[in-house]
Structure 1
Amino acid sequence: MNNKRDGFSLIELIVVVSILALMAAIAIPIFINQINQARIVTHNANIAVLESSARLAMAAHGFPTTNVQWPDVDGTNEAGYELEKYITEWPSLPEGITYDQGFFGGSTVSYEVIINTSGTIKVSPAKET
């Protein structure tokens, strides 16, 4: 009669589970950090797109005579500085990036661009590092 048993011992299973737990403890924080970095990169890319759109408007029309705000919440922007001419889709804030958002056209606005009379462009919220 053969009494040999096949399978893993309890000690072997505990060692394997411990190794997996250690690997997870190392990998999960790295993964979370990579997600946060991706959000920041997306946010900074959104700002670059908005700044480029504002530069296109200034290249086409020169410096504005009054400050221009995108989105134009009160309808007072100069002719030629209509937002729709320079950006087709307004970006939204990536999850985890916070900003006291404004309100425009029945929807929440995540970014605000101001082009002042000296040609300075300010995007809120600012870039993150």
Structure 2
Amino acid sequence: MSELRIERLTSPDIAEAMARGMRTAILPLGATEQHGAHLPLSVDSDHADRLGVLVAERLGDALVLPTVRIGCYSDSTAVLQAWRSAAQQVAGLADHVGGHADVAETSIMLAVRPEVVRNDRAAASAGR
């Protein structure tokens, strides 16, 4: 199955996937927060969308639920921390990156959604 996000599938597609053994659901979570002048507020949610698909592909028996977009983010949010930890274990990720428009976040956005990166504003927001 090429599309794993249930929001892009029809009900019969989902029923067929379940009949073929899809038994796991991935629930991506992403904060909505600023990431400098050159990136949209959706950076964390966009990362979560993509990571959810990568985890589902790796598991092989999973579909991806619509990303839950958290409106107020705090590094101490237990649910988000638990999700990041689980995603790191399943996907084999290194330490997560911070929420301050660092080079890693900008690079990921250039790979995932290059059309939303405002390169003309990148230098002005470096280090913020």
TM-score bracket relative to the smaller structure: under 0.3
Which is helix-richer, 1 or 2? 2
TM-score, with structure 2 as normaliser:
0.26
